[in-house]
């Protein structure tokens, strides 16, 4: 990782970028993941680089859904493995979820490296190496584990993955996504759309899971029933607009010009 001065105004952002770059160097993250991360970072900037209130509601509902699931699975791609490996492992432990490596740019070497990377961080069982089942996708994400994503009732998909979300929902699975773009197919296809940075969302979900794992099924279902995904998406879009307005005013740019 590059030697980034901690007083740099974009320190956290630059450190995050370096984690993705290191993931590419180590054969964990596809080079295309750099573009995906940049798109997400742009939306994070638009939303104010903070976790908005409705994202917290979505995270809480997502944890409730994982805890109520009969067979929850957390899907991991290269970016997720590079950014939040320990967090994924902790969340899987608290929610009794399986972890499965699932990649668009799939090679057996990359899958093996990600599995080993997760195990080096403390994971015990990681699915995805054998690819013994298929879902209706014409690329690498269509290769899944029959004891994982294929048979799951709830799938957590960190980071953008529109066509797979649509396919999984079409298979009557509940899909939880973490995607900073409230306009994406991923966000608009998911059962619960968490519009937040994965670096903030996963730690928040872990804290919710610590508390909620002792809740009874009725109270968990109440959390899910009180959540409205369309409202969550609308709130994120509104927040982007308000943040843009605030920046315009702060920099003496006439906001009325944009109306």
Q: Where are the domains of the chain?
A: 53-236
The pLDDT, as a whole number, for residue 234 is 97
Of 65 and 37, the structure prediction assigns the larger pLDDT to 65
pLDDT score of 240 more than 60: yes
- Beta carbons of 64 and 100 less than 8 angstroms apart: no
181 is in an annotated binding site: yes
DSSP code for 6: T
Once rounded to an integer, what is the mean pLDDT over residues 33-59? 91
pLDDT at 70: 98
pLDDT at 11: 61
Torsion, Cα of 166, 95, 66, 220 (10° steps): -170
Question: Is 19 annotated to bind ligand?
Answer: no
Question: Residue 27: which region, alpha, beta or left (left: phi > 0; alpha: psi -120 to 50)?
Answer: left
pLDDT at position 136 is 87
pLDDT at residue 76 in the model? 96
How confident is the model over 195-203, as a mean pLDDT?
A: 97
Question: Can you give the pLDDT at residue 40?
Answer: 86
Whether 75 has a pLDDT exceeding 90, the answer reads yes
**106 labeled binding residue:** no
pTM across the whole model: 0.91
Does the annotation flag 230 for ligand binding? no
Model confidence pLDDT, tens digit, residues 203-229: 999 999 999 999 999 999 999 999 999
pLDDT confidence tier of residue 80, bands split at 50, 70 and 90? very high
pLDDT value at position 258? 54
Residue 17 labelled as part of a binding site: yes
pLDDT number for residue 247: 84
The CATH number for 53-236, chosen from 3.40.930.10, 1.10.3470.10, 3.40.50.12640, 3.40.50.970, is 3.40.50.12640
Residue with the larger pLDDT of the pair 201 and 37: 201
Closest by alpha carbon to 64, among 98, 94, 99, 101? 94
Nearest to 144 by CA among 158, 170, 164: 164
Q: Are 35 and 95 in contact (CB under 8 A)?
A: no
Residue 195 three-state SS:
coil
Q: Known binder of ligand: residue 141? A: no
pLDDT digits (tens, 9 = 90+) for 126-179: 999 888 999 988 888 889 999 999 999 999 999 777 888 999 999 999 999 999
228 marked as binding residue: no
- Percent share of the chain, pLDDT over 90: 69
pLDDT tens column, 98-139 = 999 999 889 999 999 999 999 999 999 999 988 899 998 888
Tokens 């899971």: give the residue. 209
Average pLDDT, the chain: 91
CA distance 173 to 153: 5
């Amino acid at each position: 990782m590059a030697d980034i001065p901690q007083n740099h105004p974009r320190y956290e952002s630059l450190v995050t970028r370096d984690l993705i770059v290191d993931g590419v160097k180590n054969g964990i993250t596809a080079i295309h993941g750099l573009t995906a991360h940049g798109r997400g970072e742009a939306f994070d900037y638009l939303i104010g680089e903070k976790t908005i209130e409705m994202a917290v509601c979505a995270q809480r509902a997502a944890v409730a859904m994982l805890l109520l699931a009969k067979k929850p699975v957390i899907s991991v791609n290269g970016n997720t493995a590079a950014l939040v490996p320990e967090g994924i492992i902790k969340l899987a432990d608290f929610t009794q979820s399986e972890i499965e490596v699932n990649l668009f740019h799939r090679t057996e070497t990359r899958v093996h490296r990600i599995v080993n990377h997760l195990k080096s961080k403390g994971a015990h069982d990681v699915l995805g190496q054998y690819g013994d089942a298929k879902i209706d996708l014409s690329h690498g994400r269509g290769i899944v584990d029959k004891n994982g994503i294929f048979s799951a009732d709830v799938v957590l998909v960190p980071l953008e993955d529109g066509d797979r979300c649509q396919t999984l929902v079409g298979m009557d699975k509940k899909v939880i996504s973490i995607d900073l773009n409230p306009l994406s197919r991923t966000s608009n296809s998911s059962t619960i759309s968490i519009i937040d940075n994965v670096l903030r969302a996963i730690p928040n979900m872990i804290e919710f899971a610590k508390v909620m794992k002792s809740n009874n099924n009725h109270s968990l279902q109440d959390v899910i029933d009180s959540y409205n995904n369309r409202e969550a998406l609308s709130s994120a879009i509104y927040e982007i607009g308000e943040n843009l307005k605030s920046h315009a005013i702060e920099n003496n740019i006439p906001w009325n010009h944009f109306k």
